[in-house]
A and B are shown apart, each in its own frame.
Chain A
Amino acid sequence: MNDEAEQSRFMQTQRLRAAVHYTVGLLCREVGEQSDVQFSRQSIAALAETTFRQGDTFAKDLEAFARHAKRTTVNAEDVKLLARRSTALHKYITRRSEELMSSNQQQQKDKRKKSAGKGKKGSAAPAEDVVAGSEDSNMG
């Protein structure tokens, strides 16, 4: 019973490793084409392993940050805090998160327009930054 669970867990980890390895391979190929260098198989494997373990660290840190803010869900704030130490990365992540936020709001506006078109006219709902995916089907 316990042995079986351990086995399946190990399989899961191996699958994840393989997926990371594959993606790292693709990224390395891309970089190689851009800057005319070749990556040896061992270097790709080493990069993949590094990435995998880095992911472990990131996960633990993010969990700790979320718990620190008395949340159980990891959000963008936690990710920003994780990237705080390297200035360039922090800037990049902040910019990306702003882009995501604005695109989310855009989507919601589109949704509202659609639903407003279907329902009553002139029901200008105030713009809230709520989680996307909550459908307001209480109209009509």
Chain B
Amino acid sequence: AAKQKEDPSLPKAYVMSVFSHFAKTKVSRDVYPVLQEILDKYFERLVDDLEAYANHAKRKTIEKQDVELLLRRQGLVPDGVPVNVLIERYLPMEYRKLLIPVATSGNKVFPKHRR
């Protein structure tokens, strides 16, 4: 039997653990459907905005700067604070290494700083 193609969504366990971490309390299981709906709407809007920002800069590809603009407009990054602060606060080391350029031995910078 061919499996129906579902809308992709984040794993339930992950969503619930993140939510209860930030809520700082235990969360009952019947919250999940509501959360899922909210997340779906959130991502829909997010993608919509990113597309508009990329189009605004006359690009067809969404880039890091589009996401930065979105974070700023959502008020997650205050004025005069770099986005890297957010990255350092919330992302684990492996992702931080991918996003924030660090000088390594042999006069190399990883990841490559594209400007």
Taking A68-B65, A68-B69 as contacts, is the C-beta distance between A60 and B79 under 8 angstroms? yes
Count of chain A to chain B residue pairs whose CB atoms are closer than 8 Å in the complex: 23
Q: Is the interface of A mostly helix, strand, loop or mixed?
A: helix
In the complex the two chains form, what is the Cα distance from A120 to B1 in whole Å?
Answer: 79
B61 to chain A, nearest CB (A): 14
Task: Kindly name the residue among B52, B65, B66, B79 whose own CB sees the greatest number of chain A CB atoms within 10 A.
Answer: B52
Query: Which single residue of chain B is at the shortest CB-CB distance from A66?
Result: B56
Is the CB of A98 closer than 8 A to any CB of chain B?
no
Q: How many residues of A contact B (CB 8 A)?
A: 11
Query: Which single residue of chain A is at the shortest CB-CB distance from B48?
Result: A84
Is the CB of B3 closer than 8 A to any CB of chain A?
no
Q: Mark B64-78, 1 if CB is under 8 A from A, else 0.
A: 011001001100000
Contacts of B52 in A (CB 8 A): 81, 84
Given contacts A61-B73, A68-B56, A69-B57, 6 further A-B contacts (CB under 8 A): A64-B72, A65-B69, A68-B65, A70-B57, A78-B56, A81-B52
